[in-house]
Protein backbone atom coordinates (compact mmCIF):
# COMPACT_ATOMS: atom_id res chain seq x y z
CA UNK A 1 0.00 0.00 0.00
CA UNK A 2 1.21 3.50 -0.78
CA UNK A 3 1.70 6.05 1.97
CA UNK A 4 -1.38 8.10 1.00
CA UNK A 5 -3.58 5.00 1.05
CA UNK A 6 -2.17 3.99 4.43
CA UNK A 7 -2.80 7.49 5.78
CA UNK A 8 -6.41 7.39 4.58
CA UNK A 9 -7.06 3.91 5.97
CA UNK A 10 -5.58 4.83 9.34
CA UNK A 11 -7.51 8.10 9.48
CA UNK A 12 -10.75 6.24 8.74
CA UNK A 13 -10.16 3.81 11.62
CA UNK A 14 -9.15 6.54 14.06
CA UNK A 15 -12.10 8.74 13.10
CA UNK A 16 -14.54 5.84 13.52
CA UNK A 17 -13.02 4.99 16.92
CA UNK A 18 -13.25 8.57 18.23
CA UNK A 19 -16.72 9.17 16.78
CA UNK A 20 -17.94 6.11 18.68
CA UNK A 21 -16.11 7.13 21.87
CA UNK A 22 -17.49 10.68 21.75
CA UNK A 23 -21.03 9.49 21.07
CA UNK A 24 -20.98 7.30 24.19
CA UNK A 25 -19.62 10.02 26.51
CA UNK A 26 -22.01 11.66 28.95
CA UNK A 27 -22.24 15.47 28.58
CA UNK A 28 -20.16 16.08 31.73
CA UNK A 29 -17.29 14.02 30.34
CA UNK A 30 -17.53 15.83 26.99
CA UNK A 31 -17.21 19.14 28.83
CA UNK A 32 -14.22 17.84 30.80
CA UNK A 33 -12.51 16.69 27.59
CA UNK A 34 -13.09 20.09 25.99
CA UNK A 35 -11.68 21.89 29.02
CA UNK A 36 -8.40 19.93 28.91
CA UNK A 37 -5.35 22.13 28.48
CA UNK A 38 -4.19 20.52 25.22
CA UNK A 39 -5.21 18.08 22.52
CA UNK A 40 -3.54 14.99 23.98
CA UNK A 41 -5.28 15.50 27.32
CA UNK A 42 -8.59 15.89 25.46
CA UNK A 43 -7.90 12.56 23.79
CA UNK A 44 -7.09 10.93 27.13
CA UNK A 45 -10.26 12.32 28.69
CA UNK A 46 -12.38 11.20 25.71
CA UNK A 47 -11.05 7.68 25.43
CA UNK A 48 -9.88 6.74 28.89
CA UNK A 49 -12.31 8.35 31.31
CA UNK A 50 -15.28 6.00 30.59
CA UNK A 51 -13.11 2.91 31.16
CA UNK A 52 -12.03 4.16 34.57
CA UNK A 53 -15.61 3.80 35.86
CA UNK A 54 -15.45 0.03 35.54
CA UNK A 55 -11.78 -0.74 36.13
CA UNK A 56 -9.76 0.22 39.22
CA UNK A 57 -6.65 -0.94 37.36
CA UNK A 58 -7.43 1.43 34.51
CA UNK A 59 -8.08 4.24 37.02
CA UNK A 60 -4.57 3.74 38.35
CA UNK A 61 -3.04 3.66 34.86
CA UNK A 62 -4.87 6.83 33.85
CA UNK A 63 -3.85 8.63 37.03
CA UNK A 64 -0.23 7.61 36.39
CA UNK A 65 -0.34 8.77 32.77
CA UNK A 66 -1.84 12.12 33.76
CA UNK A 67 0.77 12.57 36.51
CA UNK A 68 3.59 11.81 34.06
CA UNK A 69 2.14 14.34 31.64
CA UNK A 70 1.98 16.93 34.43
CA UNK A 71 5.64 16.29 35.29
CA UNK A 72 6.68 16.65 31.65
CA UNK A 73 4.82 19.97 31.43
CA UNK A 74 6.37 21.32 34.67
CA UNK A 75 8.89 24.16 34.72
CA UNK A 76 8.99 24.84 31.00
CA UNK A 77 8.00 21.48 29.54
CA UNK A 78 10.27 19.28 27.46
CA UNK A 79 12.14 19.44 24.18
CA UNK A 80 13.20 16.76 21.74
CA UNK A 81 16.77 15.64 21.06
CA UNK A 82 17.16 17.97 18.06
CA UNK A 83 16.13 21.00 20.12
CA UNK A 84 18.42 19.93 22.97
CA UNK A 85 21.31 19.56 20.52
CA UNK A 86 20.63 22.97 19.04
CA UNK A 87 20.34 24.58 22.47
CA UNK A 88 23.66 23.09 23.60
CA UNK A 89 25.42 23.55 20.26
CA UNK A 90 26.17 19.84 19.91
CA UNK A 91 24.94 16.94 17.77
CA UNK A 92 21.97 14.70 18.51
CA UNK A 93 24.46 11.88 19.04
CA UNK A 94 26.28 13.96 21.65
CA UNK A 95 22.95 14.58 23.41
CA UNK A 96 22.38 10.82 23.51
CA UNK A 97 25.92 10.24 24.79
CA UNK A 98 25.45 12.79 27.56
CA UNK A 99 22.16 11.14 28.52
CA UNK A 100 23.73 7.68 28.77
CA UNK A 101 26.70 9.12 30.71
CA UNK A 102 24.36 10.69 33.33
CA UNK A 103 25.26 14.23 32.28
CA UNK A 104 21.82 15.06 30.92
CA UNK A 105 18.37 13.86 31.92
CA UNK A 106 16.40 12.26 29.10
CA UNK A 107 12.96 10.82 29.76
CA UNK A 108 11.76 7.89 27.66
CA UNK A 109 8.50 8.46 25.81
CA UNK A 110 6.94 6.70 22.86
CA UNK A 111 9.36 7.08 19.99
CA UNK A 112 12.46 8.16 21.90
CA UNK A 113 13.49 10.63 24.59
CA UNK A 114 12.51 14.12 25.64
CA UNK A 115 14.58 16.49 27.75
CA UNK A 116 13.09 18.61 30.55
CA UNK A 117 13.74 22.29 29.85
CA UNK A 118 14.34 23.00 33.54
CA UNK A 119 17.76 21.34 33.36
CA UNK A 120 19.07 24.02 31.00
CA UNK A 121 20.21 27.55 31.77
CA UNK A 122 21.69 30.04 29.30
CA UNK A 123 22.39 27.40 26.66
CA UNK A 124 24.11 25.03 29.09
CA UNK A 125 23.12 22.21 31.39
CA UNK A 126 22.61 23.43 34.95
CA UNK A 127 25.89 23.50 36.80
CA UNK A 128 26.25 20.50 39.13
CA UNK A 129 23.39 18.59 37.48
CA UNK A 130 25.74 15.83 36.30
CA UNK A 131 27.01 15.04 39.79
CA UNK A 132 23.44 14.88 41.12
CA UNK A 133 22.44 12.58 38.24
CA UNK A 134 25.39 10.31 39.08
CA UNK A 135 24.12 10.06 42.67
CA UNK A 136 20.74 9.01 41.24
CA UNK A 137 22.19 6.53 38.74
CA UNK A 138 20.30 3.68 40.45
CA UNK A 139 16.98 5.43 39.64
CA UNK A 140 15.15 5.35 36.34
CA UNK A 141 14.51 8.61 34.49
CA UNK A 142 11.00 9.06 35.89
CA UNK A 143 12.25 8.65 39.46
CA UNK A 144 14.87 11.31 38.74
CA UNK A 145 12.22 13.71 37.45
CA UNK A 146 10.18 13.10 40.61
CA UNK A 147 13.29 13.74 42.72
CA UNK A 148 14.04 17.10 41.13
CA UNK A 149 10.44 18.37 41.06
CA UNK A 150 9.11 17.14 44.42
CA UNK A 151 9.49 18.70 47.82
CA UNK A 152 12.18 16.90 49.77
CA UNK A 153 12.30 16.42 53.53
CA UNK A 154 16.12 16.42 53.55
CA UNK A 155 16.00 19.90 51.99
CA UNK A 156 13.55 21.35 54.48
CA UNK A 157 10.58 20.71 52.20
CA UNK A 158 12.11 22.52 49.23
CA UNK A 159 12.48 21.10 45.73
CA UNK A 160 15.95 19.91 44.67
CA UNK A 161 15.63 21.82 41.40
CA UNK A 162 15.09 25.10 43.25
CA UNK A 163 18.00 24.36 45.57
CA UNK A 164 20.37 23.72 42.64
CA UNK A 165 19.26 26.96 41.02
CA UNK A 166 19.88 28.69 44.35
CA UNK A 167 23.48 27.46 44.50
CA UNK A 168 22.93 24.73 47.09
CA UNK A 169 23.98 21.72 44.98
CA UNK A 170 25.96 20.17 47.85
CA UNK A 171 22.76 19.89 49.88
CA UNK A 172 20.96 18.39 46.87
CA UNK A 173 23.77 15.88 46.38
CA UNK A 174 23.41 14.73 50.00
CA UNK A 175 19.64 14.46 49.55
CA UNK A 176 20.14 12.42 46.37
CA UNK A 177 22.32 9.92 48.27
CA UNK A 178 19.44 9.18 50.63
CA UNK A 179 16.61 9.66 48.15
CA UNK A 180 14.89 6.28 48.45
CA UNK A 181 15.53 6.04 52.18
CA UNK A 182 13.24 8.96 53.00
CA UNK A 183 9.52 9.32 52.59
CA UNK A 184 7.68 12.19 51.00
CA UNK A 185 7.29 15.46 52.86
**3-state DSSP call for residue 124?**
strand
In this predicted model, what pLDDT tens digit does every residue of 41-55 receive, in sequence order? 666 666 666 666 667
Per the prediction, the chain carries an average pLDDT of 86
Measured at the CA of 79, the angle between CA 84 and CA 110, to 5 degrees, comes to: 115
Residue 133: burial class (beta carbons within 10 Å; 0-12, 13-18, 19+): buried
Which one, of 87, 126, 92, lies nearest residue 112 by Cα?
Answer: 92
Q: Enumerate the domain spans of the chain.
A: 3-54, 76-181
| Average pLDDT rounded to a whole number, residues 173-181 | 88
Give yes or no for residue 182 having a pLDDT over 60: no
Amino acid sequence: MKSAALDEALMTRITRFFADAIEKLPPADKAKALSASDDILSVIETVARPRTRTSPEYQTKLAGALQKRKMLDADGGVIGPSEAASLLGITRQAVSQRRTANKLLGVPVAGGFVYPVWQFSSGEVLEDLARILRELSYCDAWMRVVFFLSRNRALGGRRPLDEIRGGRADDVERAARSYLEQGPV
